Amino acid sequence: GAVVSQHPSRVICKSGTSVKIECRSLDFQATTMFWYRQFPKQSLMLMATSNEGSKATYEQGVEKDKFLINHASLTLSTLTVTSAHPEDSSFYICSARDVGTGGIAFFGQGTRLTVV
């Protein structure tokens, strides 16, 4: 299957700072990328859908000023957690839709964010 690379895999940051997570489709172009958050022993919660060249569509309850999403190219989307607080600590996963395979969404490895 297609490869999606997410970086970093783990990050620890101080409360009040911002953290950027990158999601890259390595061997295909992704017009649509999704960002999820996963709490321990729970399923994936969709945070936002980003389409290349346009503003992201955020799910209800997700603060768009807190979680900035940029999808500037067909192979890269970024999620920036601004002014992070301990409650933002979580596992964040991105996925990219590969139109070439009929729209299958392939996932990155995930980023474990710890805010101290």
Contact footprint for another protein (CB under 8 A):
1, 4, 6, 34, 36, 41-44, 46, 49, 57, 91, 93, 95, 97, 102-110, 112
Q: Find the shortest distance in angstroms from Cβ 98 to another protein.
A: 10
Contact 6, 113 (CB under 8 A): no
Q: Which is nearer to another protein, 7 or 83 (CB)?
A: 7
- Which C-beta is closer to another protein: that of 5 or that of 80? 5
Collapse the DSSP code of 61 into the 3-class scheme (helix H, G, I; strand E, B; otherwise coil) and give the result.
coil
Pick the closer one to another protein by CB: 68 or 104: 104
Q: Is the bond leading into 8 cis (omega within 30 degrees of zero)?
A: yes
In angstroms, the CA 33 to CA 25 distance is 9
